[in-house]
Structure 1
Amino acid sequence: MRKLNLRLKHLAQEHQAVMHFISAVRGANPESEADLPEVVRRVRKVFVSDLDPHFVEEERYALPMLREAGRDDLADKVFAQHEAMRAMEKALDKPTTEMLVKFVHLLEQHVEFEENEVWDVLDVELEAQARAAATAG
């Protein structure tokens, strides 16, 4: 059972919304390249309003905790994925279907990586911090 603090629980819950977004983008299936700009416009809007702020919050709260736990490898990978998606979003100025598919695929891989590896490490770190606080006080 996850013991994540409130802020990290919120981030984990946002992953569910991201997975729904990924499904919606995949379901949009532009019928032609002429439809692509509208799909990309929606993706970029969600990126600016939801995804990038989510990344910033993870960088502010989750990544330092990973580093404290001695997991620079995970923190570096999360940050590298964030930066790759930021670069891909900028590249969508001149979109192709292939670029959009790559962006959505990386976003999905990122969420799965965090859910299957990162949050488990954070659970252990938070438990250790709670035990240390209980024995100190």
Structure 2
Amino acid sequence: MKRSAFLITLSREHHTALVWAKRAQRGSGEEATALMPSLVGLFERELAPHFAAEEADLLPLLHAHGQAALAARTLAEHATLRAEAARLRDGCAAALAPFGRALADHVRFEERELFPVIESILAQRADAAAPTVGRSTPARGDMPEQR
């Protein structure tokens, strides 16, 4: 099944998010302290808009097709990641590993469970609404690669 252009963009962002998640999980000591501002910047610049795009474009589609549980899980995981990012913003180095784990787990959930359902829904839709997925959020550049 061909993946929609919007999901391709999200998947590319997921790849880079996994790189950062691994860095967060491995960060310790001075490295962790140095990594925190970069992760906060990443969250504010890339992940928050990514979540907003998913929430605006994908979750209503899930609700409309009887997939409220997947939508609820997505929202709950976004809330967890927002909370961990807030802890990082507040200077809590102890949030680094939990943020990294939560981000990696969330990306895997979306790629393995959420996106296949979205693809199936889009494949079944023949109406004009199908191409609008992704229209509510302007195109963004790729997230910064690992430095």
> In which range does the TM-score fall when normalised by the shorter chain?
0.7 to 0.9
- Shift of the 4–60 alpha-carbon distance from structure 1 to 2, 3 Å rule, reads farther
RMSD: 1.8
- Shift of the 53–127 alpha-carbon distance from structure 1 to 2, 3 Å rule, reads same
The Cα of 1:9 is off from its aligned counterpart by 2.1
Structure 2: distance between partners of 1:94 and 1:46: 15
What is the TM-score normalised by the length of structure 2? 0.78
1:13 corresponding residue in structure 2: 12
Structure 1: distance between partners of 2:8 and 2:61: 14
Report the more deviating stretch, 75-84 or 9-18: 9-18
Structure 1: distance between partners of 2:31 and 2:9: 34
* Greater helix share, structure number: 1
What is the TM-score normalised by the length of structure 1? 0.83
Q: 1:96 aligns with which of 84, 88, 93?
A: 93
1:113 corresponding residue in structure 2: 109
Percent sequence identity over aligned pairs: 30
Unpaired runs of 5+ in structure 2?
129-147
The yes-or-no answer on 1:125 pairing with 2:121 is yes
Structure 1: distance between partners of 2:80 and 2:22: 20
Specify the code of the residue in structure 1 equivalent to 2:13: E
4+ runs of 1 displaced by more than 2 Å?
A: 23-27, 34-37
How many equivalent residue pairs?
127
2:41 corresponding residue in structure 1: 45
Deviations 1:5-46 (A, max 9, x none): 22222112211111122233345x33x2x4433211111011
- Shift of the 79–18 alpha-carbon distance from structure 1 to 2, 3 Å rule, reads same
Structure 1: distance between partners of 2:18 and 2:91: 25
Unpaired runs of 5+ in structure 1?
none
> Which structure is higher in RCO with an 8 Å CA cutoff and minimum separation 6?
2
The yes-or-no answer on 1:75 pairing with 2:71 is yes
Where 1:70 maps in the other structure, the secondary structure is coil
